[in-house]
A and B are shown apart, each in its own frame.
Chain A
């Protein structure tokens, strides 16, 4: 169990950010598998399919906030309606400076990390996220 590869689901509509963060995970923890989803709908599709196939749920969900179809908040709320998924730790990773978003996720005890404007910080963020992996 201890040696089983970690699996992280990263949901973000921005291709650059998907590339940066998954590159950072690969750099600091090559054995970690990162599944990428372009929006909330695709993330839910994935979660429901893994659940169905018993491949194994991710140990962490990293959620962007502003996405088409389902935004981060709505995606989180939908995940929470499924008892099999609601205990997966979630970290919000966003460039949004909207105080309402911060207040909403803080009240739920969910960490909100602002996307850095220097990718040199990306590795630090990735390793911090790995620690949250259940």
Chain B
């Protein structure tokens, strides 16, 4: 039995309950650098590292005492020189009438320990990579948000630059011309042959000052629309159009404005600005109708997804828009000059208006990160196309209704 114990290709040792070693096999003695004699009568702790001693006292031994055996326990033995030897132990405790002893059998797990360490290191590395990946995703999301903010800031800067150019044109030309005229007519009155001023000249003078008043008030409206206080709520374009039609019918009593309207999807917009937008567009339908008392417009719309990015190339973020088309059968214009109609005080039909309506519409659409374009043929009507942000999904029935009521109440307050 002892021979087998000694020859076993594993580490074997036994001890009494008081910790006195009974036997230590040759393989273990050789590994730890002791002779059999040196260990005889020594305490079990001699073989253990300090942490293993504590572990043995607090866990290992109580477990043996309780259930009589313990399997696959990982402990560290200590050589005479103080090196650690990781070992996996199975132990069994035998109780007899006069005495009790425990037999320990173990194998060295130097490699297994290394594999385990590697496994733990790999797991830690994987966790770190995952954390970094999460951080990367977060950084990417933040970058996208910044890019979107940058894109809308670029749009704003472009819009402001265009506005400055427009204001410059208004100051250097649109206002200069009537100012000069005021002076021309006033001097003609003063230096005229008659003592009493000519009625025709005074009328011209009044006409010019009225024109200036309109330019200045139009400019005020335009600047008011440049203020960044935009409200975004769900708006039903159909109700805004019907409301605008009612206002216009009162303003142009003899004219019948016929509106053929498809079902229009909801948009997300500033209600007060939408009122101005659709009022101006419908007023153009009336003012630029063909001879007669009937103005006609067909309004249709559909939803689509468009890239939010307008200024930064190679960036994509798709979002819902509503494309609204207002096609009239009025006098139209030569499409070659279509871009000019959105400039302040540019008129293609000098007989009507001062040329602010579509400039205001463009400003409103830009405020909503939308688009406006106009196509026309001389004598064959014009079609205005609008792109406006779609109503947020998931708010179908009630919220929209509430917002609509809010909008009507606010409109009443403003009126």
Q: B168: which of A98, A116, A117 is its contact (CB, 8 Å)?
A: A98
How many whole Å from A127's CB to the nearest CB in chain B? 19
Residues of B within 8 A of A41 (CB): 334
Residues of chain B with a CB closer than 8 A to A32's CB: none
B187 at interface, CB cutoff 8 A: yes
Given contacts A96-B172, A117-B180, 15 further A-B contacts (CB under 8 A): A16-B184, A16-B204, A65-B173, A68-B347, A69-B336, A95-B173, A95-B176, A95-B180, A96-B176, A97-B173, A98-B172, A98-B173, A115-B180, A117-B179, A118-B184
Is the beta-carbon distance between A119 and B184 smaller than 8 angstroms?
yes
Which residues of A lie under 8 Å from residue B174 when comparing CB positions? Answer: 66
B340 to A68, Cβ gap below 8 A?
A: yes
Q: How far is the CA of A117 from the CA of B347 in the complex (A)?
A: 24
B177 interface residue (CB < 8 Å to A): yes
Q: How large is the interface on A (under 10, 10 to 19, 20 to 34, 35 or more residues)?
A: 20 to 34
Q: Which residues of A lie under 8 Å from residue B346 when comparing CB positions? A: 68
Q: Could you tell me if A69 and B180 are in contact, using CB atoms closer than 8 angstroms?
A: no
Main secondary structure of the interface of B (DSSP, over half): helix
Nearest neighbor of A70 in chain B, beta-carbon distance: B337
B314 interface residue per 8 A CB criterion? no
Contact of B187 with A117 in the complex, beta carbons under 8 Å: yes
Alpha-carbon gap, A66 to B180, bound state (A) = 15
Binding site for B on A (CB under 8 A): 13-14, 16, 20, 41, 65-66, 68-70, 95-98, 115-120
**Would you call A96 and B173 a contact (CB within 8 A)?**
yes
CB atoms of B176 and A97 under 8 A apart: yes
Task: Give chain B's interface residue range (CB within 8 Å of chain A).
Answer: 20 to 34
Q: How far apart are the CA atoms of A111 and B340 in the complex, in Å?
A: 27
**With known contacts A95-B177, A98-B169, A119-B188, A13–B350 Cβ distance under 8 A:** yes
Partner of B172, one of A68, A97, A120: A97
Q: A14 to B184, Cβ gap below 8 A?
A: no
Shortest A115–chain B CB gap in Å is 6
| Residue from the list B184, B188, B348 in contact with A69, Cβ < 8 A | B348
The answer, yes or no, to whether B97 is at the interface (CB within 8 Å) is no
Contact pick for A118, options B168, B183, B337, B347, CB 8 Å: B183
Question: Which residue of the partner chain, among A13, A96, A117, contacts B184 with CB atoms under 8 Å?
Answer: A117
Contacts of A68 in B (CB 8 A): 337, 340, 346-348, 350
Q: Is B396 an interface residue (CB 8 A)?
A: no
- Residues from chain A with a CB closer than 8 A to the CB of B337 are 68-70
Q: Which residues from chain A contact B184 at a C-beta distance below 8 Å?
A: 16, 20, 116-119
28 contacts between A and B (CB under 8 A): A16-B181, A20-B184, A66-B169, A66-B173, A66-B174, A68-B337, A68-B346, A68-B348, A68-B350, A69-B336, A69-B337, A69-B348, A95-B173, A96-B176, A98-B168, A98-B169, A98-B172, A98-B173, A115-B180, A116-B180, A117-B179, A117-B180, A117-B183, A117-B184, A117-B187, A118-B187, A119-B184, A119-B188
